[in-house]
Every structure is written in C-alpha cells, then in structure tokens.
Amino acid sequence: MTGKPLVAILSGAGVSTDSGIPDYRGPNGLWRRDPDAEKLVTYEYYMGDPEIRRRSWRMRRETAALHAEPNAAHRAVAELELRGVPVRVITQNVDGLHQLAGVSARKVLELHGTALACVCTGCRVRGPMADALARLDAGEDDPPCLECGSVLKPATVMFGESLDPVVLGEAVAISKACQVFVAVGTSLQVQPAAGLAGVAVDHGARLVVVNAEPTPYDGLADEVVREPIGTALPELLRGLG
Ligand SMILES: [Zn+2]
C-alpha cells in the first residue's frame, strides 16, 4: 500500500481543558455533578420551563465571555493536516477550537453539535450563537426563533436528545476506514462515541489512547499515553505519516 495512513482523531473534553474550558458533560463533568446545572442542558426541562431557558441563556452569555483559544493539542492536529496526512477529527467538544486552529471544517465531525450556533426547535433554521447573545444584550431573556417564534436552543446535543444520525454514520465510516485511531482527552465511557474506538480496532486500525486516566479501551490499545495532552499529542502526531 502506498500513501499516508488515514488518521482518525477522537477528541474529548481533555483536549480543551488547556484552553480553559472545563469538562461539562463527561461522566465526572460539571453537569453531572450538579443536577441543577444539568437541567439547563436537558432537553425536556429546557423545552418545558421558560425559567430554565432564561437561566441557560444567562449561563451561555457568561461563558461566551471566555473567548477560548486553541491550544498546542488543537494546533498539532491542524499541523498534521498541513503536512498532507489525511486526517479526520471526530470530536465530543462543542467549542469549535479544532476549526479555529485551522483544521478544515469539512474534516471535523461534531458529535455533540456546536455551541457556536443556535437552532430552532420548530423550523430547524440555524443561526450564529453570537446573534442570539446580541439579542440578550439588547434585553431579551429567552429569544424565540425570528422565523417562526418557536423555542430557540443552542445547536448542541442536549441530554435527552439523540446524536445526529448522519454525523454518527460518518464517524462510524471513518472509524472503519482509518489506519490509525487516536482517542485523546476522552474517558471513553460515553456511548456511542466510545464504541468508535472498538469499531476502529475491529477493522484493523492501530488504536492509541492519550488520556490522563485509564479508559475501558486501554486493553485494546496498541499504545497508551498518560502524559499531559499538550505535550504528548504534538509528539505523537509528529511521528505519524
Ligand atoms: Zn423557527
């Protein structure tokens, strides 16, 4: 076989912690430890309770002020693409930092959607989160869809919502096709994302796990790296292709 190997990178919250973004939704994430906060990102509560929505929007307005920047791990993935290595990113993060680091948007699959956009729960029209936040600045506390008046929500996958089957299908296809599968900064405890590592191994890929804590897939991995992601991932990716 000629050519460079297709590298799939499954990235979790641990990739963005160096950018100051905490782990919100992992098994030990902020949402799970605070049932009150979890309601803000649970579809049933969000749709059923205007007060939950008002709190959710306030919370987004506050966190949007963080203006997170990509870190060394995001840049290392972007450099891999620049070097001509075929790479696809499957991310559990909603922060858009892989794209901000320079990875082509079409090569990033956002399993849990994006916090940078909003979507209408009625007509499904999408728009920038910045536009919704500007409406909050202007005094609205639960901005409805401007097209149809239905409830507007962030374009993230809330608890109680299913992953987009098209995005998940593409993630499975990439996991089957890749030669190297790097799971980085993810505890590999949340399905179906975690199962992608198993799919990759079943189809002959080399599995590398980069995570501070043990994962259920370490036993299947060809290489397990416990070093800090910000230094370990750039080093690992330089050795590929
Ligand atoms: Zn609408």
**pLDDT per position in the chain (241 positions), as tens?**
446 789 999 999 999 999 988 887 777 777 777 888 889 999 999 999 999 999 999 988 888 666 799 999 999 999 999 999 999 999 999 999 999 999 999 999 999 999 999 999 999 999 999 999 999 999 999 999 999 999 999 999 999 999 999 999 999 999 999 999 999 999 999 889 999 999 999 999 999 999 999 999 999 999 999 999 999 999 999 998 6
Q: Residues 222, 122: one domain?
A: no
In terms of DSSP bridges, do strands 180-184 and 7-11 run parallel, antiparallel, or are they unpaired?
parallel
Please indicate whether residue 112 is annotated as part of the active site: yes
Quote the CA–CA distance of 13 and 11 in Å, as a whole number.
7
Quote the CA–CA distance of 167 and 170 in Å, as a whole number.
5
Single-letter amino acid code for the residue at 115: A
Q: What contacts 15, CB < 8 A, 6 or more positions away? A: 71, 73, 74, 91, 93, 97, 184, 185, 229, 233
Q: Judge if the upstream peptide bond of residue 192 is cis by omega within 30 degrees of 0.
A: yes
Q: Residues 43, 89: one domain?
A: no
Q: Residues 120, 179: one domain?
A: no
Centre of ligand 1 from the C-alpha of residue 41, in Å: 20
- Among 156, 182, 213, residue at a domain's last position: 156
Whole domain around residue 15: which residue ranges?
1-21+70-112+162-241
pLDDT of residue 173: 98
Centre of ligand 1 from the C-alpha of residue 144, in Å: 8
pLDDT of residue 2: 47
pLDDT of residue 1: 45
Question: Choosing from 74, 98, 112, 203, which is the catalytic residue?
Answer: 112
Q: Residues 107, 150: one domain?
A: no
Contact 15, 74 (CB under 8 A): yes
Q: Residues 127, 208: one domain?
A: no
Which three-class secondary structure state does DSSP give residue 59? Answer: helix
Q: Residues 150, 172: one domain?
A: no
Contact 51, 65 (CB under 8 A): no
Q: Residues 39, 150: one domain?
A: yes
Q: Residues 100, 123: one domain?
A: no
Contact 69, 100 (CB under 8 A): yes
Based on DSSP, count helices (H) and strands (E) in the chain, helices before strands.
10, 9
| Structural domains in the chain (count) | 2
Quote the CA–CA distance of 67 and 51 in Å, as a whole number.
26
Quote the CA–CA distance of 192 and 171 in Å, as a whole number.
10
pLDDT of residue 214: 95
- Among 156, 185, 219, residue at a domain's last position: 156
Q: Residues 17, 77: one domain?
A: yes
Centre of ligand 1 from the C-alpha of residue 146, in Å: 7
Centre of ligand 1 from the C-alpha of residue 138, in Å: 20
Q: Residues 168, 97: one domain?
A: yes
Centre of ligand 1 from the C-alpha of residue 224, in Å: 46
Q: Residues 135, 152: one domain?
A: yes
Q: Residues 139, 200: one domain?
A: no
Q: State the CATH number of the domain containing residue 131.
A: 3.30.1600.10
Structure-token match 């007509």, residue found: 123
